[in-house]
Amino acid sequence: MDFSVLPTTAFIRPDGKNQDAIATLLHQVIDQLVEIMAQATERSPLPEPLMSDDYVWATVPHTSADIAALLVEVKAQLHHSMNAAHPGYIGHMDSIPTTVSVIADLLIAALNNNMLSVEMSPVFSRLETLVLKQIAQLFGLGPQANGVLVSGGSLANLQALIVARNQAFNSLEHGIPAGQHPVFFVSEAAHTSFKKASMVMGLGTEAAIPIATNQNSQIDIDDLKTKLARAKADGQQPFAIVATAGTTVTGSIDPIVEMGHIAKLHQLWFHVDAAYGGALIFSDRYRSQLAGIEQADSVTFNPQKWLYVAKTCAMVMFRQFEQLQQHFRVLAPYMHDHDDWPNLGELTVQGTRHPDILKLWLSLQHIGRDGYSAIIDHNYEITQTFTAAVKARPFLTLASEPQMNLVCFRAQPPELSPDKLDDWNHGLQQHLLQTGHTFLSLPVYRGQRWLKAVLLNPFTTADQIHRLFTHIDGYHAASKS
């Protein structure tokens, strides 16, 4: 190979001939990274949208671009990125990443191991199995429990339902018998990934039967019982019940204990989507919010949310890990089989996969369970401050009583007609972003626009919340004049 046609830093040469140049380049990148993260509060939580002319930089060139010029361009584009590190970015379940998960991403990108098999990732495959087993124990899933990492909660939920379906219908090899109509039950407030999963599984989205929720956006147990009985009477075959621990819009937690009992009574698979709320298992004070999760046959949990691990990092755990192996595993003849350690690519929808376990392991090591517990406790304190401020203002109302660090609220000034309220709340959202340097999202909840605050950033303070509500008061007063 004539390497003269390539930039000298195109690869980190295994013979070390460009070691100094690579070190210089990486130092420049790290300096740039630290600068942009350390100055997060100087930029808006949500940047202005790019203009069409700004996309010229995306052109794919014929010849090599100068690396120094590229770094300048990258720095400019980073300023157009969503600024999750800003303490005022409280609109979504996106978090500032732990320092060590950023470091880990750099390391695992350089090593470029593949979680497809033990042979391709000898250290990380073993580490994933060991760490996830310990996390499964924290959830109380028992000595036979373990899990696998996947690329996001959607894949975790899909995989759990596939195992549940295959276990119920023995359908790993031959599929669903003719005339069968598998269905499962999930909250009307659950994540959209369940409808996607139902579609991908070939059942159609209607197989995900929505269960009504109460005023706090939790599953209505009576409606669950009614629809379960109706499905059986209609000749459908229920195979799973899904509880959510942390709904996307209101952060609500379904009645896990009661739902687990119903699943057991009807011999149905019980899955808990704790993608967000699963982090409470690390809090001595608030882990009781997840009471009943130990009954689950499978659990989704995303450390990329409340454990602050850089994306992506999500997992699905099984009470009986052998059920994953029995009802999902597809052997790959091109991979060497290890008796003591599974080839994880045979146990996940994904084959090739990033070694995300290093980000999770380093974060757990560096922050520790006590550290995470302290962060979660702080988040709850800020949430209580936020909730009290909403309740203190007659023109504001809560969508539901917060169960976690998520507050969904809405302005309903009595002087406005109902048809004007959505626009008014949208105007308030924009006002807070422009004048208060705070981003709240504006989801649709029960047919109306609501403001959502996710008090996730550990650097968000009570003083900041008080200032935010001063801006809300100002906007309200100005609209009346």
**Rounded to the nearest 5°, which phi and psi values hold at 270?**
-115, 115
What pLDDT, on a 0 to 100 scale, did the predictor assign at position 293?
99
Pick 265 or 75 by higher pLDDT. 265
**Which pLDDT tens digit goes with each residue over 18-41?**
999 999 999 999 999 999 999 999
Quick one: which H or E segment has residue 182? strand 182-187
Which pLDDT band, with edges at 50, 70 and 90, does 473 fall under? very high
**Residues 355 and 106 sit within 8 Å (Cβ to Cβ):** no
For 223, the token pair is 């409606």
Which spans in 211-310 are helix H? 221-233, 256-265, 303-306
**Which pLDDT tens digit goes with each residue over 228-262?**
999 999 999 999 999 999 999 999 999 999 999 99
Which pLDDT band, with edges at 50, 70 and 90, does 47 fall under? confident
**Residues 198 and 165 sit within 8 Å (Cβ to Cβ):** no
Q: What is the mean pLDDT of residues 160-180?
A: 94
What pLDDT, on a 0 to 100 scale, did the predictor assign at position 54?
66
**Which pLDDT tens digit goes with each residue over 76-113?**
888 889 999 999 999 999 999 999 999 999 999 999 99
**Which pLDDT tens digit goes with each residue over 276-321?**
999 999 999 999 999 999 999 999 999 999 999 999 999 999 999 9
Q: Is the pLDDT of residue 118 over 70?
A: yes
Amino acid residing at 332 = A
